[in-house]
Every structure is written in C-alpha cells, then in structure tokens.
Structure 1
Amino acid sequence: MAREQTGICAEPNLHGVFLLFNGLEGKERQLKQQLGKLTPLIDVLAEQFSEAMLNSVIGIGPVLWPRLNQSVTPEYLSWAELGETEAELPSFHYDLLVHLRADRFDVLYIALSQVMQLLNQQAELVEQWFCFRYLDGRELTGFYDTPDNPRGRAKRVAALVDSTGHPFNGGSYLLLLKQHCELHRWQQLTSEQQQTLMGRYKTSGQLLPSAQREADSMAERAALEPQGERLKLLWQNMPCADAKQQGMVALGCSAEPADLLQYLDKRFGVQNGYDRMLDYCPIEQGALFFAPSLNMLEKWG
C-alpha cells in the first residue's frame, strides 16, 4: 500500500519553512540517494519530539525528475498551457522543494539544520521562507484562509493519486505560489469593501449571499467547486512576514494536475476577468513539483 508524505494531509502547524533548491550538475545520483534518506531522518526527529507534530513534504521539479534517471515521469502541468493571463502569473524554476512544519520552532530549526547538512553537497539553497500560523487560521488580510478546504478523509481524495499499481500512487502534484500582500492599501478599504473583494464575511468566513457576490471576487475565482464539481485540491498555506514585507506561501496539493490548471485558469484570468484580490495580494512566484510517495522515496535511499 502506498504511503503518502506526512505533510500533505496533516493538520496545520504553528511554524513552517519552505526551502527551495537547485541540484548541482553531476550530483544527481548522490542527490537521489540523499533524498531517500531525508524522510527517515525527519521520522526520527518526529518520534524524538512527538509533541512538536513535525512533518514534511518533499517535491521534485519537472527539470530535475528526468535527471534522477527515472523511467517514468509525472504528468506535470505546463505553465504554457494557460496562454496569456490578465493577472500576472510569474513562473520560476526550482529543482527541489522541502517544506517542514512543526508546533515548536526549535524543533523546526533542528530539522532544517539536518536537512541542510544532508543536502548541501548535492544541491544549492536558493530561497528560504519562514512562515507561521496567524491567529485562528487567518490570512494577514484578517479573513479565514481557505474555509472550504477539504476535511477528514476528503483530504486524501483531493490530494493523493489513488490508482493501485500506478507508479505514482500515493503521490501528490504540487503548486507553489508566493504571494505579496500590500497591507497598507488593503487596510485603507472599509470592511464592506474587503468583504466584496473576498466574497465572504470577515468574521465567520461564510460566503456572502449570491446576490452580493461579484464574479471577480476571490470566493468565485478561487472556488474549489467552480462548475458544481469539486476540484481535487487541498491547500496547505502559511502566512510569512518580516518588518519589510508581508504575504503568504500557498501550497496546493492535488491528485489531478488538470485541476491545478483549472484553478489557475479561472483565478488568473485566462477567460472572462480575474480574481480582483490579486490587485492587493499579487503573486510573486509560482513553481510546480511532484511529491512522490514514501515508498518511492525509500527506494531511492
């Protein structure tokens, strides 16, 4: 039975970090072996500090995957399939994503340090984004983050490839979006204006009545049920901020790459407008990965 990586369907944590690497040329064989050792390393820490609820997600980019000498390749969606969008959707290339989450920051730091020690001879760290849980699961805008996210068993249905005998069974297609929030502009809006842009009530996260929701509100553009049939998409998002910048890192996990494409298509305006929240919280970076099952990763080690 295929086993998924622990961070894909896990409950939210208090702290997190996103590490983005590019593989060093000529080090592919060694990198593949080290990736196979990474999840057992995290498992040891998770058992040692069980109260920290440490978990992880390892995603492989579309350029690195064939360099790891794999006989089969995941069905990565292509940015080019979208064509021209009304809202800017920048595409970046990274070979490797390591996402760590925990309820203790010191344990998160220990895990990060060991990951770096394991990979530093085979991969170059390009970006690192520290994140946190804000209030009771809200975005920095003050609204609840993805209130229609799948719950319980529905998480697995949305996020994990479920096809017995398929080489990618238990894996997940990943969409990473780094978002910058222009809070100084956002906070100049009234609560009513903010709710109109979001399509939801600020206090409860519930949808505004259909007559009050605009077609370009985030609730309509980012809906997980855009045409009545629910997209296979689970979000694992965390706000990130420092004294200079504020934003969010969104990680979409899906069993179907076509559903990720449909989400981008509707939200970024390939047809009939775009999500007007992007005027206040534009996307700075976007990247694609595939998170193989634990069974596959363990064979690499």
Structure 2
Amino acid sequence: MVDSSNARVPIEPQRVDAPLTSSAVLLTLTLTDAPDAAERVREVLGALADVTKNVAFRDLSASLACTVGIGSDAWDAVTGAPRPAHLHPFREVRGSVHRAPGTPGDVLLHIRADRRDLCYELERQLLGLFGDAVEVADETVGFRYFDVRDLLGFVDGTANPVGPALPAATIIGEEDPAGVGGSYLVVQKYVHDLAAWKGLTTEQQEAILGRTKSDNIELDDAAAPDQKAHKTLTTITDDEGVEHDILRDNMPFGSPGRGEFGTYFIGYARELWVIERMLERMFIGDPPGKHDRLLDFSTALTGGVFFVPSASLLETFGD
C-alpha cells in the first residue's frame, strides 16, 4: 500500500507549449502605487485558469490560452514564493551600433487564440479584475502572417524544438527547486524598416537571415566567413559543443496606415543564459563588432525578462 503522505504531488506547468495561433495579445503591465496592488494582482493570477476557461468555452476549437510571466521587481511582493535561481531584470545589451533596451514590466500576459474576439474578451475581463492595481506599459496585437512568416517575408520559428525536446528546452526541473515546473520568458518588440529591407535583393536578404526565402532551406555561412548570418548567431552551443534550444512564439504586428511593421519576439527557455547569449551575439557580434546585420533593418523598442511560474503555483495564489 502506498503511503500517500509521502507521495509527490505532480507539478503542472503553464501552457508554454500552446500551439501557435492566428491571433495573440502581448500585454505588459506595471504595478501601481495602490495600497493593495500586489495583493490584487496575486488574487487575479490565482483565478487566471478559471477566467480563461470561462472565455474559452465559447469556442473550444479556438485554442484560447493565457500564459503569465512575473518580473523580477514584482516577484517577491506578488508571489511571496522563493525566487527562481536566475530571475533578474532585463540587462541592456549595447553594441557599437545597436542596442537592446530594457523597459518596465512587472507582469506579462501572453494571450493567444485562433479567434481575435476571444483574445479581446479575455484581455478585457482580466484588466477589469486588475482595476487600478496595474497600468498598461505596452499592448501589442499580433497575427499570423501567411504560412508562419514574419513581415520580412521569411518563415519564423523553424528551429523550435518538437516532441520530448520541447519540455526539455523550456521547463525547469529539479535543478532549481524554487523554479521547478516554470520557464523563463524574454520578450522584445522590434519594428522593421521595410522600405530599406525591400531595397535589398532576395539573395542579400537570404545571406542576412541564413535561409532561403521561398523554401526556408538553411544556407552555409562559408560564403561570408567574416559575417555570420542571423540563424548562426542565434544558434547557441556550450563549451562542450552541446546545442541549447529555446521556444520562439514570435508574432508579426503592424498597421500599414501608421507605417508600423514589426515582430514581437517571444522566447521561452529553461535556461535564461541561452537567450541572453543570443542577444549578446546579435548586438555585440561574434566576433565583437560584427553585429547581426538584421539589426540594420530591425530596431528593438522594448525588452523584458519574466518568470513563468507553474500552473500549480499559480493556483495557490487564490488560497
């Protein structure tokens, strides 16, 4: 007979692996100075699963999901839980030409569905529950563009892990008891100079990205050994030669009427250093001074680091 008092309760992660959908809302919030702001945010996050379920039932086939991340500055006050081992604010990366800025953010809501109205309704209800406990620092509405392409015309997210490799790359294990079942989340909002980009030939664009545009085939860097392509700079291996993956849920966003065209970078990782190394290689260069040429056409406006606690921990917030 099993002694249930010693049985381990399984820890359920949040839906980090939710499928890529046709619509998404990325909502960055900061806590206000309201006396009960942290407590109210905690209560709302504790009810997140129920609120999401109440909206999702209208169309279960639309794959509505909401993943929440909590920033370093708000973690202690909102959660009251031990801090994940590597949680810290976004560290600005400044190269000789481009920089990746860090911007304010205490809570990040990643809402996604195959129906825009469900994303809207969940966002509306959650903001109503938060009330004056939060302010909106950034709201970005993303959409799927053709066959999962970015607005530069290239397929995005090709290198994402699949199968058992997906949780292995995104969900923290026993190596960090305070973070087990969670994930690190890094977000950046990039805007593109499409006029300048379209001034390049297809071959020049492909050399910058490291993939062919029409059929998404990887190109060899040997043709330009002194200037690495984007796909090479964002491929991270450790000192033992082991490659480390992350999950990219990037979404295009924009408005032709406002002349705004961009990509919202969404990276989930088991190890935060992997994404930080990517940004260093992109903005500083490898070798230093040889930055990612994609940055000559894409400017980072925001940057935030969040920790995605397990769904099991979120449920305790409502106790």
| TM more than 0.5 | yes
Q: 1:225 to 1:202 in 2, by over 3 A?
A: farther
Shift of 1:164: 7.9
> Which residue among 236, 239, 247 is the counterpart of 2:262?
247
Matching residue of 2:108: 97
Q: Please name the residue that 1:195 is paired with.
A: 206
Contact 1:224/1:233 (CA < 8 Å) preserved in 2? no
Separation in 1 of the partners of 2:74 and 2:183?
Answer: 16
Amino acid at match of 1:103: D
Closer, same or farther: CA 160–69 of 1 in aligned 2, 3 Å: closer
Supply the AA of the counterpart residue of 1:12: L
Q: Which of 266, 270, 280 lines up with 2:281 in the alignment?
A: 266
Deviates more, 1:40-49 or 1:111-120: 40-49
Pairing 1:25-174 to 2, within 5 Å after superposition: 25=33, 26=35, 27-68=37-78, 70-74=80-84, 75-77=86-88, 79-80=90-91, 84-86=94-96, 87-163=98-174, 166-174=177-185
**Same amino acid, percent of matched pairs:** 27
| 2:252 paired with 1:235 | no
Could you tell me which residue of structure 2 aligns to residue 3 of structure 1? Answer: 12
SS at match of 2:208: helix
DSSP-derived class of the 1:253 partner: strand
Matching residue of 1:296: 313
CA shift at 1:281, angstroms? 1.1
Separation in structure 1 between the aligned mates of residue 154 and residue 175 of structure 2, nearest angstrom: 39
| Matched letter for residue 265 of structure 1 | E
In the TM superposition, what is the alpha-carbon distance from 1:225 to its structure 2 partner? 4.6
Specify the code of the residue in structure 1 equivalent to 2:211.
R
CA deviations on 1:148-172 (whole Å, 9 max, x unpaired) are 1111221111111122882321111
Provide TM-score, normalisation by structure 2: 0.88
Contact 1:218/1:276 (<8 A) preserved? yes
Measured in 1, the distance between the counterparts of 2:53 and 2:237 equals 35
Name the aligned partner's letter for residue 89 of structure 1: A
**Alpha carbons of 1:139 and 1:121: their partners in 2 closer, same or farther (altered >3 Å)?**
same
SS of corresponding position for 1:120: helix
Q: Kindly provide the CA deviation profile for residues 187-240 of structure 1, in whole angstroms up to 9, marking residues without a partner as x.
A: 111101111111111112111134235533211111245874222411111000
Partner of 1:204: 215
Flag the 1:260–1:281 CA change in 2: closer, same or farther, 3 A. same
Q: Which of the residues 214, 230, 251 maps onto 1:218?
A: 230
Answer whether contact 1:232 1:256 (CA < 8 A) is retained.
no
SS in 2 for 1:64: helix
SS at match of 1:126: strand
Scaled by the length of structure 1, the TM-score of the pair is 0.93
Structure 1 residues without counterparts, runs of 5 or longer? none
* Matched-pair contact (CA < 8 Å) for 2:93–2:284: no
In 1, the alpha carbon distance for the partners of 2:278 and 2:70 equals 21
RMSD: 1.9
Q: Is the 8 A contact 2:65 2:111 kept in 1?
A: yes
Deviation at 1:78, TM superposition (A): 5.2
Match of 1:45, SS?
helix
Residues in 2 aligned to 1:44 and 1:259: alpha-carbon distance in whole angstroms: 36
